[in-house]
């Protein structure tokens, strides 16, 4: 080390006795060293630790008497469940948000939703950069392109853009929603609070609502419905695209030919799933007297659109899910499992995962040697990770459903729906969460945590474990199919 480097190091880390440091400084330094050590050894482990600490912190806040309305007692399991549902931006509840929680409690839930949405996005970016540090130059370039980073040192500026973009979208939604609630006759203060709450909840795909009946009272014809329901739909769709896509739209606009492959796959697959779900939900429920049967055709079509937006991750509903047909429940199961875009506030296995597997099946059917999309070749390693994510997600749903059926003795179709909703952090419910015993609620808490941090974290862990062999074994093809 040169003398100049030694001098710089001495200035950055001046030597002084340990006892001379203030206690807060020593504690902060040790905590920072501890976090750095965990991050260097396993970023995936850091993600789990951060989520658990944040989750417990918000649970303790909701357990405080001031968080509940006067005369209401909060059980610890309900505080943990609500905090986890908010931090993982799921939306499942065991108690009514409007009836159970005071203004303080609802503010805590709103902050937890915001922290959960932004925290996951920024953590995803940091973990992706960790991949870039561990792998070779080619992988670094792939990571930079996926996150739209000019240089690996631009992490701070990227996170600033994420926060600014998120807040800007939420403010715009809050303004429109507040006008809508004012038009519905709510007082100014209440309308502003509801506008902010729904803006944050919709953009983060959380599904929480401060009203006892949710959005159902605003399901009527007229301009006020468009000022409330349509902004909520817009917030859910934009939030489910993911910030890599939003940043591409900021940089190049809607010029499709200049988008990267991730943005193209996300937008095309999302649009296809929305159209399919819209058509099927409307057709299946058209004559159901418990859902769309008593409405006029225009309202039925809009209800189908609203449901198609919400069933993948939004979590808001205008019809009760237990009143829908078995086929609709199965359709919603599939859409929830697919989820939204990567590095988004949505859950599920992610639409890009689904797109890659579909394209690989199409390539195999055509006899192509490689998977190609929009004149780009998708590496085999991406396909392996996509298959792993799907299989692990299916395993979590299978084991979770078995545990919940054994604990609740409720019908399998309702339990499966609830478990997929928890894993995909969607928030639509058949009432299983509220009817579950305490142990069942803790099982759903675990599933929500795994669903929120599992897909990206497991994919990251798989990439970090990749290694280069200097030799290869002989090939042999097993019989498939």
41-71: per-residue pLDDT in tens? Answer: 555 666 677 788 889 999 999 999 999 998 8
pLDDT at 369: 87
Q: What is the DSSP letter of 73?
A: -
Q: What region does 208 belong to: left with phi over 0, alpha with psi -120 to 50, or beta?
A: beta
Q: What is the pLDDT of residues 72-118, one digit of tens each?
A: 899 999 999 999 999 999 999 999 999 999 999 999 999 999 988 87
Element (H, E) at 352: helix 351-366
Indicate the length of the chain as a whole number: 481
Averaged pLDDT of the chain:
83
Q: Which residue range(s) make up the domain with 250?
A: 25-464
Q: What is the C-alpha separation between 89 and 109, in angstroms, rounded?
A: 10
pTM of the model: 0.85
- Asked if residues 385 and 459 have their Cβ atoms less than 8 Å apart, the reply is yes
pLDDT at 29: 61
Q: Is residue 31 part of a domain?
A: yes
Q: Is residue 470 part of a domain?
A: no
Q: What is the DSSP letter of 477?
A: P
- SS3 state at 269: helix
pLDDT at 157: 57
**Cβ contacts of 169 within 8 Å, gap of 6 or more:** 203, 235, 238
Q: Is residue 13 part of a domain?
A: no
pLDDT at 131: 45
- SS3 state at 480: coil
Find the mean pLDDT for residues 459-463. 51
Q: Is residue 346 part of a domain?
A: yes
Q: Is residue 314 part of a domain?
A: yes
Q: Is residue 159 part of a domain?
A: yes
- What percent of the chain stands above pLDDT 90? 56
Q: Is residue 234 part of a domain?
A: yes
Of the two residues 408 and 251, the one the predictor is more confident about is: 408
Q: Is residue 477 part of a domain?
A: no
Find the mean pLDDT for residues 207-233. 84
Find the mean pLDDT for residues 263-282. 96
Q: What is the C-alpha separation between 363 and 357, in angstroms, rounded?
A: 10
Total of domains in the chain: 1
Find the mean pLDDT for residues 223-248. 88
Find the mean pLDDT for residues 301-322. 92
Q: What is the pLDDT of residues 109-135, one digit of tens each?
A: 999 999 888 764 455 444 444 444 443
pLDDT band at 473 (very low <50, low <70, confident <90, very high): confident
Of the two residues 279 and 3, the one the predictor is more confident about is: 279
Q: What is the pLDDT of residues 343-379, one digit of tens each?
A: 788 889 999 999 999 999 999 999 888 999 999 999 9
pLDDT at 466: 52
Find the mean pLDDT for residues 160-182. 89
């Amino acid at each position: 080390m040169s003398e100049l480097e030694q001098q710089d190091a001495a200035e950055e880390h001046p030597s002084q006795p340990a006892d001379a440091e203030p206690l807060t400084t020593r504690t902060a330094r040790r905590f920072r060293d501890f976090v750095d050590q965990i991050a260097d050894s396993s970023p995936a482990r850091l993600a789990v630790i951060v989520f658990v600490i944040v989750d417990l912190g918000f649970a303790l806040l909701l357990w405080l008497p001031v968080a509940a309305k006067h005369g209401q007692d909060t059980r610890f399991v309900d505080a943990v469940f609500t905090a986890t549902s908010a931090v993982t931006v799921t939306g499942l509840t065991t108690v009514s948000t409007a009836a159970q929680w005071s203004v303080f409690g609802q503010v805590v839930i709103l902050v937890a939703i915001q922290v959960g949405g932004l925290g996951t996005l920024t953590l995803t970016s940091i973990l992706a950069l960790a991949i870039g540090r561990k792998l070779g130059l080619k992988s670094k370039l792939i990571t930079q392109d996926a996150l739209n980073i000019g240089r690996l040192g631009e992490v701070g500026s990227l996170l600033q853009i994420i926060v600014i973009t998120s807040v800007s979208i939420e403010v715009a939604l809050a303004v429109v929603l507040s006008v809508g609630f004012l038009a519905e006759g709510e007082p100014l203060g209440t309308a502003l609070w509801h506008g902010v709450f729904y803006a944050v909840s919709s953009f983060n795909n959380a599904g929480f609502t401060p009203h006892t009946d949710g959005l159902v009272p605003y399901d009527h014809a007229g301009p006020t419905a468009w000022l409330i329901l349509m902004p909520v739909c817009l917030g859910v769709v934009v939030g489910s695209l993911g910030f890599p896509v939003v940043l591409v739209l900021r940089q190049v606009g809607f010029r499709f030919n200049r988008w990267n492959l991730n943005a193209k796959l996300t937008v095309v697959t999302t649009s296809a799933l929305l159209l399919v779900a819209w058509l099927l939900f409307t057709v299946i429920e058209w004559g159901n007297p418990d859902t769309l049967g008593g409405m006029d055709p225009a309202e039925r079509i809009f209800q189908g659109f609203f449901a198609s937006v919400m069933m993948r991750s939004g979590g808001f509903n205008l019809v009760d899910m237990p009143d829908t047909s078995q086929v609709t429940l199965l359709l919603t199961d599939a859409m929830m499992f697919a989820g939204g875009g990567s590095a988004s506030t949505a859950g599920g296995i992610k639409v890009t995962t689904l797109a890659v597997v579909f394209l690989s099946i199409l390539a195999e059917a055509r006899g192509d040697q490689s998977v190609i999309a929009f004149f780009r070749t998708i590496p085999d390693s991406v396909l392996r990770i996509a298959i792993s994510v799907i299989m692990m997600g299916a395993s979590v749903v299978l084991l979770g459903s078995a545990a919940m059926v054994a604990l609740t003795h409720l019908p399998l179709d309702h339990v499966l729906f609830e478990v997929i909703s928890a894993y995909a952090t969607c928030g639509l419910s058949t009432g299983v969460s509220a009817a579950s015993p305490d142990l069942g609620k803790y099982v759903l808490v675990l599933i929500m945590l795994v669903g929120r941090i599992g897909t990206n974290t497991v994919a990251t862990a798989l990439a970090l474990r990749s290694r280069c062999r200097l030799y290869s074994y002989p090939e042999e093809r097993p019989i498939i199919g």
